[in-house]
Structure 1
Amino acid sequence: MQPQVETVKKTKRALSLAQNIVRDIEAGAHSPGDRLPHEDEMLARYEVARATLREALRFLELQGVIHLQLGRGGGPVVARPQTGDFANSLSLILHFMEADLRGLLELREAIAPDVAAYAALRATTGDLSALADCFKELERNEADNNFEELNRRFHDLLGWASGNPLFGLLTSTMHLLTREFSNSLGYSAQERAVQLRFLRSVLESVRTGDQAAARQAMSRLVSGSASYLAERSPELVSQRVKWGQI
């Protein structure tokens, strides 16, 4: 039992050290690309064993907080955790929860209408411009293989236009988690036309600040999309989320 207890203690020390390093990054107002002190300096500063420091740095690298630059003059460099880092961690949890695509579709149905409503309330001029440009691309690519990717991009932009970064993060994360599923299926020409019609309504409602109309249009869009996927490929929506597919 003793080796196991010691391993747990070392892990806790490394995690505590990682938290201290993050606090120091924030206190020092470090930006992505800034170098952290060399290993010997960090050992002296935090008064920990070399193995503990390296474990803490590996943990931060996995979370996207830093990247370890190799070679002469290398070392820890400040990064910024991205949506993909969160999606990758979440997919591992969902893998063991045996979550499937249906669960992700239901989550989207639950939050997407409110995301659209908040976007109608808070979207900036820049947000509206980006959404309008994306929608024009969608129209131009209605029959193209890029349609699904552009569709996801429109929803991502809408999530961040909500003014709530949590909505933006969740929307983008769900798209990363479902990309492989949707790419393997695709939308029919008829379904693409339906998607465009509702997206046009969402965009117009967001542009005019009509929260109720934005919520209603998005609700009809995502519920219809979920029904379409379930009817066309019930075996697909039953597939489980697998870690490493992002």
Structure 2
Amino acid sequence: MPDGAAEIPAPAGRRVKRSDQIAEELCRRIARERMEPGQRLPNEQTLMQHYGCSKGTIREALKALEVQGLVTMRPGPNGGAEIRPISVEAAAMQVRRYLHFHRLDFAQVYAVRRNLEVALGVEVVGRLDAAALRGLEENIRACEAAFAAGEHARGRSLELSFHDLLCDASDNALLAFTCRFINSLLRDLVEFRGGSASEYAAFGAHNLDSHRRLVAAFRAEDAEAAGRVMREHMCCAEAYMRRLDAAFRRDLLSGR
């Protein structure tokens, strides 16, 4: 298509820039050809000939892919667009932007989390090697130290990191990504809602006990026990977070 047709009608009735069309086609090409990190797209001249457009249009399309985190532009005569793996953070940012415009509370988060974390706990049984198990135990000790020092927010963040470590061991990319994303949301929600020291202490003690029992189940490679402990853990966490959310809303209404 010649570059003169910079915009064409889209199915939804809006006009799509030619560069955006090319960027989308390149995304499909990367997926179709199963291109791996480190591989490169064709050079600018080849892309210009293939799409029948100007250098500026191609550069704009490649820039869009770079902004998405899908490619890195390498300078020099042998440079070009190099495929790069999209980080969890980059992928999660798009979902965060979507959720920014929606009302979100603990009840909604746990309606999803309680089942996914149980599935994750069962799925990683037998996948945690000695180093991974040590990492979980080190996390528990770091949580204990944080709570002992009265650093409740840091302790809560570390507790969520325990679940991130389980994501690292998962062989299910979608499950791991979703659980990790929910953990990041919870960090934000807890930061904004706070909570009393006594509530944190009681909840922290429960979490530490649950995490120790989970590690024991993982060491024994007991999937049934891991699922049971995680289910109890999520039920307690949901109840605590719902109370915290209710208290937060009362404070807002009372002007405190």
* Structure with larger Rg: 2
The verdict on how the C-alpha distance between 1:17 and 1:95 changes in structure 2, with shifts beyond 3 A counting, is same
| SS, match of residue 8 in structure 1 | strand
Contact 2:207 2:233 in 1 (8 A): yes
What's the counterpart of residue 170 of structure 2? Answer: 162
Change (3 A) 1:167 1:17: closer
Matches within 5 A, 1:66-105: 66-68=71-73, 76-95=81-100, 98-105=103-110
For residues 10-38 of structure 1, the C-alpha deviation after alignment (integer angstroms, 9 at most, x for no partner) is 233331134335666x54x543xx77676
Partner of 1:19: 28
Contact 1:160–1:167 under 8 Å retained in 2: no
CA deviation digits over 1:203-244, x for unaligned, max 9? 11111111111111111111111111111232658xxxxxxx
Pairing 1:5–2:2 present: no
TM (norm. structure 2) is 0.75
Letter in 1 for 2:26: L
Q: What's the CA shift string for 1:37-84, capped at 9, x where partnerless?
A: 764464356554334423432332233212457999986454321111
**Is the deviation greater in 116-125 or in 102-111?**
116-125
Deviation at 1:196, TM superposition (A): 0.5
The aligned residue for residue 184 of structure 2 is: 176
Answer yes or no: is the 8 Å Cα contact 1:148–1:183 preserved in 2. no
The residue correspondences of 1:1-246 to structure 2 (distance < 5 A) are 5=9, 7-8=15-16, 10=18, 11-20=20-29, 26-27=34-35, 29-31=36-38, 39-40=44-45, 42-44=47-49, 47-68=52-73, 76-95=81-100, 98-143=103-148, 144=151, 145-184=153-192, 185=194, 188-234=200-246
Distance 2:77 2:154 in 1: 42
**Structure 1, 120-129 or 205-214: larger mean CA deviation:** 120-129
In structure 1, give the amino acid aligned to 2:242: A
How much has 1:156 moved relative to structure 2?
0.7
Task: After superposing the two structures, state which structure 1 stretch, 36-45 or 144-153, moved more.
Answer: 36-45
State TM-score, norm by structure 1.
0.78
- The one of the two structures with greater contact order (alpha-carbon pairs below 8 A, sep at least 6) is 1
The match for 1:240 is none
Task: Flag structure 1 segments of 5+ consecutive residues without an equivalent.
Answer: 238-246
Paired residues in the alignment total 233
* Structure 2 unaligned blocks of 5 or more: 1-5, 250-256
Note if contact 1:162-1:168 (Cα within 8 Å) is conserved in structure 2. yes
Q: Secondary structure at the match of 2:160?
A: helix
